[in-house]
C-alpha cells in the first residue's frame, strides 16, 4: 500500500479525542491489520480497519489495545489458544500479509521511521488478554519489527501509568527498543509497567532504557531478553537488556513472586541490567534470572548486573545470577550503598548444579563504598567468590554468606580496600570451640567448609576490645571439618577469609593454666595484596595450645590444649 500523508490524519484523530467522539472514549480498541498506516479519523471505528498506530492514539487516556482472532481459524487449529472476536470487533487473520506461519505470529513492521509514542498516559497495550490460558512469553502471537527502516526506538513512553504486555520486539532498533523518558513538556514519568510477556530478541542495541530524574517508580516484570520460542532458543541481544541511567530512581526490575521474574539470558557485549550515573538511586533488582534460559540452563550474558558511574542505593535481592562470562555482579566507578542479599550466584536455580560466572561472583573494584553482601549463596565461580580491591573501596561488609566450590579465594580484600583490615587468625580449635585473634572490637564470623572456603555460617562473636582475641563456642559442634573466620570492624569494613583450621574429631580439650601478659593486636601496616594472591595473616596458628599469642585476662583461666 502506498504510504499516506501523516499530518491531516493525526490532527483529525486528536480532534476526535478532544471533542469526546465515541471511539476515543471506548474501553477497548482491537487491532485488525499489521499495516503501519498514518492515523485517519475513521480508523478503529466499528467495522473499520484498525492499525496499531491508530489504536495506540485512541487508547491514550485510559483505553486498552488488544487483538482477537477469527473463530473459524481457531476451530481449524490455525490459531492455537486464540480467543474469537465478539460483537463488532474485527479479527486478525492468517491472511494478513504480516502473518508469519513459521512462528505463528503477526509481525507489525514499521512503514515509516516514527516510533509509537505514548505521550498522554494510561494507555494499555495488552496482547495477552485474547490468548486462552496465556502463561508467559512463549504464548505471544504479536511481534514488532522495524521493517526496512533505520530506527532508534520502537516505542517511546513520555507519560505515566501505561502498561505494555504480551508481545515480542525484535530487529534493528539501534538505540533502545523501548525508552522511557521525560517529554518536551516535562513532568514526572511514573507508574509505567513493562510486562509481563515482553520479549527482546536479536537486538543490536539496548532492550529498554529508563533515563532522567523525572522517570521514577516504573516496573519491568515477567519478560525475556536474549531468548525466544519456548524459552530455550537463544537469540542474543548485543547490548544491555535494561539500562537505568541519568538519574532515574525507584524503579523495580522483577519482584518477589515467580510471575514477576525476568529472564536476562544472553547478551554479547552487555549486562542483563546496568545501573549508572551518580543521580541514579534506590532502584531494585529482585527475583530475576541472569545468564540462564527459561529452563535454568546456561545461556550467558557478558555480565550479569553492573553498577557503575556513581549509582547509589541499588538493592539486588533474590536473583539467580549464573553462567555469565564476567562477574555475576560488578560494582565500580564510585558507586555506593549497594545492597546484595539472598541471591544465588554461580549455581542453577535449585542449587543442584554448578553454573559458574567466568570471573568473581561479586566484584567491587576502584571506588565502592558502604555496600553490603549478605545472606547469598556464592559458588562455582571461576576467579572466586567475592573481590573487594582498591584503596577507594571502603566500609564494605561481607556477612553471613554461604561461599563454596569457587576456583579461588572465597573472600578477597586487596590493594588497600576496607581500611587494610587484617585477616583474623584461628589459633586453636576443639570439636566445639574456636579461639583466635582479630582486629580489636571486630565482629568475628565463623564458618565451616569441607575445603578452603565458607559454606556454613556457624555464628559470630565480638573480639576483645583491647586485644582482639576471641573465643567462639558451638556446643553442638561444627557442620564441616575445617573452620575459617571473617572479621568486620566497627566502621563496617570486612576482611578476607582467614587461613583454615581443622576441627579435631573425638578429642576432649584439656584445661591448662598459662601465664602470659596480654599483647594488643598488631598495628603495623599490611602490605596491600593483589587479586588472586592470598593475604598473609598477622599471627601464624600454632599446632598445640595458645602459645605466644595475645591473651587477655579472661583467657588465662581456661586456655585450651589439643593433643596432636
* 129-149 confidence digits (pLDDT tens): 999 999 999 999 999 999 998
* Residue 514: predicted pLDDT: 31
- pLDDT tens digits for range 2-59: 344 444 333 333 333 322 333 333 499 999 999 999 999 999 999 899 999 999 999 9
C-alpha cell at 515: 601465664
Whole-number percent of the chain with pLDDT over 90: 83
Mean pLDDT value across residues 275-288:
98
Dihedral of alpha carbons 240, 264, 243, 53, sign: positive
Exposure letters 123-138 (e unless 16+ CB within 10 A, then b)? bbbbbbbbbeebebbb
Structure letter (DSSP) for residue 500? P
Q: Quick one: pLDDT at residue 560?
A: 41
pLDDT (tens digit per residue) in 93-110: 999 999 999 999 999 999
pLDDT band at 185 (very low <50, low <70, confident <90, very high): confident
Q: How confident is the model at residue 517 (pLDDT cuts 50, 70, 90)?
A: very low
CA distances in angstroms from 408 to 248, 306, 445, 470, 548, listed in the order given = 37, 22, 20, 27, 31
Average pLDDT over residues 436-455: 98
- What length does the chain have? 564
- Alpha carbons 425 and 517: distance in angstroms, whole number: 19
The Cβ of residue 113 has, within 10 Å, a number of other Cβ atoms equal to 13
Helical ranges in 281-327 per DSSP H: none
Q: For residue 160, what pLDDT band results from cuts at 50, 70 and 90?
A: very high
* CB half-sphere exposure, 73, CA atoms < 13 A: 18
Q: Nearest Cα to 396, choosing from 415, 413, 377?
A: 413
Please tell me the pTM assigned to this model.
Answer: 0.88
- Residue 251: pLDDT over 80: yes
- Give the chain's largest Cα–Cα span: 99
Integer CA distances (angstroms), 173 to 115, 147, 178, 459, 554, in order:
10, 10, 9, 52, 69
Amino acid at each position: 500500500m502506498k504510504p499516506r500523508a501523516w499530518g491531516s490524519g493525526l490532527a483529525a484523530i486528536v480532534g476526535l479525542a478532544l471533542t469526546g467522539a465515541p471511539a476515543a472514549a471506548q474501553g477497548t480498541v482491537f487491532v485488525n491489520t499489521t499495516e503501519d498506516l498514518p492515523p485517519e479519523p475513521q480508523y478503529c471505528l466499528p467495522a473499520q480497519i484498525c492499525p496499531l498506530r491508530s489504536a495506540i492514539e485512541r487508547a491514550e487516556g485510559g483505553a486498552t489495545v488488544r487483538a482477537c482472532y477469527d473463530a473459524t481459524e481457531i476451530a481449524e487449529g490455525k490459531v492455537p489458544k486464540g480467543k474469537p472476536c465478539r460483537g463488532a470487533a474485527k479479527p486478525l487473520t492468517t491472511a494478513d500479509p504480516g502473518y508469519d506461519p513459521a512462528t505463528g505470529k503477526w509481525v507489525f513492521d514499521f512503514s515509516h521511521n516514527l516510533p509509537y509514542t505514548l505521550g498522554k498516559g494510561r494507555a494499555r497495550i495488552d496482547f495477552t488478554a485474547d490468548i486462552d490460558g496465556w502463561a508467559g512469553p512463549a504464548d505471544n502471537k504479536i511481534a514488532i519489527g522495524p521493517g526496512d527502516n533505520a530506527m532508534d526506538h520502537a516505542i517511546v513512553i513520555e507519560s505515566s501509568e501505561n502498561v505494555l504486555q504480551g508481545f515480542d520486539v525484535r530487529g534493528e532498533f539501534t538505540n533502545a527498543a523501548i525508552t522511557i523518558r521525560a517529554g518536551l513538556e516535562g513532568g514526572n514519568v511514573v507508574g509505567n509497567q513493562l510486562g509481563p510477556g515482553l520479549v527482546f530478541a536479536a537486538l543490536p542495541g539496548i532492550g529498554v532504557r529508563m533515563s532522567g530524574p523525572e522517570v521514577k517508580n516504573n516496573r519491568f516484570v515477567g519478560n525475556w531478553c536474549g531468548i525466544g520460542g519456548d524459552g530455550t532458543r537463544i537469540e542474543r541481544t548485543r547490548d544491555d537488556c535494561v539500562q537505568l541511567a541519568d538519574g532515574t530512581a525507584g524503579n523495580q526490575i522483577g519482584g518477589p513472586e515467580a510471575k514477576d521474574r525476568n529472564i536476562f539470558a544472553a547478551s554479547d557485549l552487555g549486562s542483563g541490567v546496568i545501573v549508572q550515573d551518580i543521580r541514579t538511586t534506590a532502584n531494585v533488582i529482585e527475583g530475576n534470572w541472569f545468564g540462564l534460559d527459561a529452563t535454568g540452563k546456561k545461556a550467558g550474558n557478558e555480565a550479569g548486573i553492573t553498577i557503575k558511574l556513581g549509582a547509589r542505593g541499588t538493592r539486588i535481592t533474590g536473583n539467580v545470577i549464573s553462567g555469565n562470562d564476567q562477574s555475576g555482579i560488578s560494582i565500580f566507578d564510585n558507586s555506593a550503598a549497594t545492597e546484595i542479599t539472598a541471591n544465588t550466584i554461580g549455581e542453577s536455580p535449585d542449587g543442584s548444579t554448578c553454573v559458574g560466572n567466568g570471573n568473581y561472583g561479586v566484584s567491587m573494584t576502584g571506588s565502592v563504598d558502604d555496600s553490603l553482601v549478605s545472606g547469598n549463596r556464592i559458588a562455582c565461580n571461576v576467579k572466586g567468590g567475592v573481590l573487594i580491591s582498591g584503596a577507594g573501596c571502603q566500609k564494605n561488609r561481607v556477612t553471613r554468606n554461604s561461599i563454596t566450590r569457587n576456583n579461588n579465594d572465597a573472600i578477597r580484600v586487596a590493594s588497600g580496600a576496607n581500611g587494610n583490615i587484617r585477616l583474623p587468625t584461628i589459633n586453636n580449635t576443639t570439636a566445639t570451640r574456636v579461639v583466635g585473634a582479630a582486629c580489636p572490637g571486630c565482629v568475628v564470623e565463623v564458618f565451616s567448609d569441607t575445603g578452603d572456603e565458607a559454606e556454613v555460617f556457624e555464628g559470630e562473636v565480638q573480639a576483645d576490645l583491647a586485644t582482639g582475641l576471641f573465643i567462639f563456642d558451638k556446643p553442638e559442634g561444627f557442620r564441616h571439618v575445617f573452620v575459617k573466620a571473617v572479621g568486620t570492624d566497627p566502621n563496617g569494613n570486612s576482611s578476607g577469609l582467614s587461613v583454615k583450621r581443622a576441627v579435631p574429631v573425638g578429642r576432649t580439650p584439656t584445661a591448662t593454666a598459662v601465664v602470659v601478659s596480654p599483647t594488643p593486636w598488631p598495628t603495623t601496616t599490611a602490605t596491600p595484596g593483589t587479586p588472586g594472591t592470598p593475604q598473609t595473616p598477622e599471627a601464624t596458628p600454632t599446632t598445640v595450645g595458645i602459645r605466644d599469642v595475645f591473651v587477655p585476662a579472661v583467657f588465662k583461666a581456661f586456655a585450651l590444649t589439643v593433643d596432636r
